[in-house]
Amino acid sequence: MREDICTIPVSEVFEPKDGCPICRMRDTVETRMVEYIMGAAMMEPDVRMETNRRGFCEDHFRKMLGQKNRLSLALMLESRLIEIKEQVFDKKRLSFLTEEAGCFVCDKIQWGMERMLDTVCRLWVQEAEFRALFDEQPFLCLPHYEQLVSAAGKLKKRDRAAFCEAAAKVSGRYLLALKEDVSHYCKMYDYRNAGNNEDWGNSRDAVERTIQYLVARSVKDSR
């Protein structure tokens, strides 16, 4: 498999200034990987061997089902079942199910993200224009803020401290805004405010936005 299938130009991810840029990066890599595994990967024996061994998680099975080429998925499922039969039922190697448990797509996303997070840190240190772009982001969700701080561990001490401070500023200011919106949302349901016709402001979707900040995934109200 071409290693660059999991990488994208980092600066392009930051340009839209819409939501968490690292979530957008993750989503782009994920989409590429799902499209790849349902398409070109079918012709790569080494990939098929790995998917037979690793399989996929529930979430990525769902995304693969959303693709148009169900035959590709059926062929992968067929060879995965053959692998399980040989390892678990013919060789009596029940440990195969735990030792090889995982997801091919998740593994590749993690591989690509680790390298791109390193690139984010490097660009921040080397390019003033990128530092300005970084500071202008609406927010960094909490999980990706943590990952960026971890990735910054490879920087020189002075650069690491400055980068972590910048990341904390972007993520922390959004947390404060969320806290105000959630508090206002709760206040709107206080019986003491009934009939006051107070403005909801930005609080109507505060619950969804807070969950997204905490788990790095967009959620929809199921009501």
* Dihedral sign (CA 191, 195, 200, 201): negative
Domain ranges of the chain: 3-138
pLDDT per residue as tens, the chain (223 positions):
344 566 778 988 999 999 999 999 999 999 999 999 998 787 889 999 999 999 999 999 999 999 988 999 999 999 999 999 999 999 999 999 999 889 999 999 999 999 999 999 999 999 999 999 999 999 999 999 999 999 999 999 999 999 999 999 999 999 999 999 999 999 888 766 665 667 888 899 999 999 999 999 988 754 4
- pLDDT at residue 41, rounded to an integer: 83
- pLDDT at residue 106, rounded to an integer: 95
Look at residue 189 and give its three-state secondary structure: coil
Report the C-alpha gap between 212 and 223 in whole angstroms.
17
Q: By C-alpha distance, which of 13, 55, 43 is closest to 64?
A: 55
- pLDDT at residue 5, rounded to an integer: 62
- pLDDT at residue 1, rounded to an integer: 37
**What DSSP character marks residue 66?**
T
**CB-CB neighbours of 133 under 10 Å:** 18
pTM equals 0.87
Residue 119 is encoded by which pair of tokens? 């690139």
